[in-house]
Every structure is written in structure tokens, then in C-alpha cells.
Amino acid sequence: MEEDEEIINSSPEKATAAAAAAAAATATTPSNHKPHITWSDSYSKAHLAIEALSAILPSLPPHLSSSETPATSLLHDSDVAAQISLLLRRPDSGGANDNLCAWLYDTFHSSEPDLQLVVLRFLPVLAGAYLTRAALNKPLAGFESVLLAIYGHETAARNGQAVTVSIPDLAHSSIYHETKQTAAKNGSTELHLAVISPTLEPHGTVRSTRRPRIVGVALELYYTKISRIPIGSKIEFCEFCKIWSGQFSDQTLNENNPPQHSDNPEKTTPSSSPVLRILGHCLMGEEKKKKNNNNNNDDELFQTAISACRCLNARALHDINPKAILATGSLVKLAEMAAAAADRTSPDYVDHTEIAMTNIISI
């Protein structure tokens, strides 16, 4: 336990050392605490993380320490989530001596996918708090160490390569063409190549001009894991988008007022492509379709996401940014269409997989 305390109190600047210490602790501690568990490294790592967290949070739900799947329990525990979010949002958070940031950093470096997911789950709050405060010239080494850890992970995973998409051209035959002939093949038409995410270079520190990019890349990783991220985190993401849009709240848009900008002057915004993809998921991902399960959380996500989209659309109009106007405008329209289509009481609602209900039942 003493060892753990040390790790937590170490500043993120010494984070690499802390990570090494954590690795050492992982190797030795199981024999001290849970001698019978040697079969699962990830299990013990998760327990270590929970123990370390208990020194930071005011109260930790007791069932976490006894959980069979500690990492998953940690990910989905709304009480823990609320406590951590609160700490991250505190005005003095994110500094070099922030224990929680050190914990997030170490936990991400545990290399356990389930534990990394726990860290990613807090990315929206962390990135939101970071970007709103970065311009105030306060040292935010704690936040930055976590963001750089995530950025570094994605850079390594991608080997620094850009993510590209070659836009299909129907002049080329494809697997989904109805006529399966290859004669129409036409070498003269080149496929458009689009760069979704440019090449990545390693960063040891956050240079201010790379700040939006580093947060953007972290969000790209968040998006690739999004189907496993709890809804609460996605709702926090949507809230963060509203702040990012310069707080054109729905209310502001509907009233005859000039826009209310937020107190902070920061206009640093992460790259828009991952933001839009995450929002698209929040609006039209599978959670939305399960709405008839009476899950209020899902509906809350949908409502928050559509409101975030409207804010971003207002912002895009404000910036006269054609691509952003198109993308956010389409999302808003699609969400409205989806809401109308999901209404089963509407006369237009058709379930195409339902059989014809007739009074004449024949073979």
C-alpha cells in the first residue's frame, strides 16, 4: 500500500518513472495482497487500480473490490464516474500534482484494454476541462500527461500512418453491383483518396499549436472503442461539444439575443472529424434503436446529442464553414427523421418484417 501511495503522489512529470514503479508494483504486490490469484494478470492489475483509486476518491463502493470482473465494474459504476468527473471539473484540477491524473496516466499505461477503456471513458470531461482552461496559461501537466499517453498509444498502434479512405466510384464494378460483370471496368477513372486523419508524429510535450490535434487523436481512439463506452460518458461528450461550439445554446438560438459566449476565451477546438463521428454514433448508433426498451438514459443521450448537433451547426454557420455546415446540418436532419420514424404511434410507421395481418388465415 505504501508503494501505491508513492505512485499516486508522484507528479505526472515523473510519470514514466511512476509507470515503471507501477509495473514493478504489479509484479510484486499480488503475492502480498492476494496470494491465491496468480492466474490472471489483468484481474490483479484491475484490483491494484481500484486500490489506488480508493486513496483518491472520497468513497469507493465496496462491491468494486470484491468484483469478479473489476475493470468492467469500474467502467460501469456510475457512482465512481460521478466522483471522478467532479474531481476533473474542479477549477484546480489537472495540475502537475493532480493525483487523479497520475492515476489515469498509470491506469492507461497498464496496457490492459479494459482498464484503458476506463481511462477513455473520462476523456470527454478531461478534454473539455483541458481545452477550456488551456488558454489561461495555467500549467496543466496532469491533463497533458494523460492526453499524451492516449495520443502516444494511438500513434504507436497506427505506426504513425495516416488513415485514408478511397471514395468509391460506381464506374468501377464492386461487390455490391447487381450486374457482376467486370467489363465496365474503366482504368481511366481514378478513385478519390481522402485523408481522414493525417500522419502522426510522436510528441513528448503538448505544443500549443498541436493541442487541437492531440485532443482530436485521443478522440479518434475514443471513437474506435465507442461501442463499449458507457452512455454517461457519451452524454458528457455531447455536453462538451456544446461548450466547444461557443455555447450557442438552443435557448440562445431561439431567443432574440446575441449569442452568449462562454466566459473563457479559448477557441481551441479539436479536429472536427472524430467529433462528428462520435456525435453521429450518439444520434444513430444502436442505443437509439433500443429506445422502445424504455431506457431513459438512451433518450437522454439522443436529446443531448441532437442539441449538441444544433449548437455545432449554429457554430458552423457562424464560421461560414461549408463542410461543417453540411455535416452538422445532415446530422440534425437525420436525427429529426429518426425521431419521427421511431414513433410507433405514427400512421406512417411501417414494420417491413411484419407479416400481413388478415382475418383469413390460410396455408
Q: Interaction with other proteins in 104-143: which residues (CB under 8 A)?
A: 134-137
Amino acid at site 318: H
Tell me how crowded residue 209 is: count the other CB atoms within 10 A of its CB: 8
Q: List, in order, residues 6 or more apart from 180 with CB less than 8 Å away.
A: 173
Least distance to other proteins, CB of residue 241, Å:
15
Does residue 207 belong to the site contacting other proteins (CB under 8 A)?
Answer: yes
Within 210-249, residue ranges assigned H as helices are 211-224, 231-244
Which window, 35-43, 56-64, 72-80, 188-196, contacts other proteins (CB under 8 A)? 188-196
Does residue 333 belong to the site contacting other proteins (CB under 8 A)?
Answer: yes
Does residue 353 belong to the site contacting other proteins (CB under 8 A)?
Answer: yes
**Which listed residue (219, 221, 312, 314) binds other proteins by CB under 8 A?**
314
Least distance to other proteins, CB of residue 53, Å:
27
**Which listed residue (39, 63, 68, 167) binds other proteins by CB under 8 A?**
167
Does residue 251 belong to the site contacting other proteins (CB under 8 A)?
Answer: no
Does residue 324 belong to the site contacting other proteins (CB under 8 A)?
Answer: yes
**Site pattern 262..301 for other proteins (x: CB under 8 A):** x--xxxx----x--xx--xx-xxxx--xx-----------
**Site pattern 28..67 for other proteins (x: CB under 8 A):** ----------------------------------------
**Which listed residue (34, 139, 168, 343) binds other proteins by CB under 8 A?**
168
Q: List, in order, residues 6 or more apart from 199 with CB less than 8 Å away.
A: 160, 161, 162
Which window, 37-45, 50-58, 104-112, 190-198, contacts other proteins (CB under 8 A)? 190-198
Question: CA-CA distance, 93 to 276, in Å (whole number)?
Answer: 28
- Contact (Cβ atoms closer than 8 angstroms) between residue 301 and residue 287: yes
Residue 76: exposure state from Cβ atoms within 10 A (0-12, 13-18, ≥19): middle
Residues 208-227 that bind other proteins (CB under 8 A): 208-212, 223-224, 226-227
Report which secondary-structure segment, H or E, holds 165.
Answer: strand 163-167
Which residue number, 50 or 221, has a Cβ lying nearer to other proteins? Answer: 221
- Contact (Cβ atoms closer than 8 angstroms) between residue 312 and residue 245: yes
Question: CA-CA distance, 116 to 156, in Å (whole number)?
Answer: 15
Q: What are phi and psi of 161, to 5 degrees?
A: -75, 150
CA distances from 41 to 24, 32, 47, 67, 360 (A): 13, 14, 10, 15, 63
Tell me how crowded residue 278 is: count the other CB atoms within 10 A of its CB: 24
Does residue 345 belong to the site contacting other proteins (CB under 8 A)?
Answer: no
Least distance to other proteins, CB of residue 156, Å:
17
Least distance to other proteins, CB of residue 307, Å:
15
Which residue number, 59 or 257, has a Cβ lying nearer to other proteins? Answer: 257
Does residue 156 belong to the site contacting other proteins (CB under 8 A)?
Answer: no
Torsion sign, CA atoms 153, 141, 56, 235: negative
Which residue number, 111 or 227, has a Cβ lying nearer to other proteins? Answer: 227
Which window, 87-95, 100-108, 169-177, 294-302, contacts other proteins (CB under 8 A)? 169-177
Question: CA-CA distance, 107 to 101, in Å (whole number)?
Answer: 10
Q: How many amino acids of this chain bind other proteins (CB under 8 A)?
A: 95
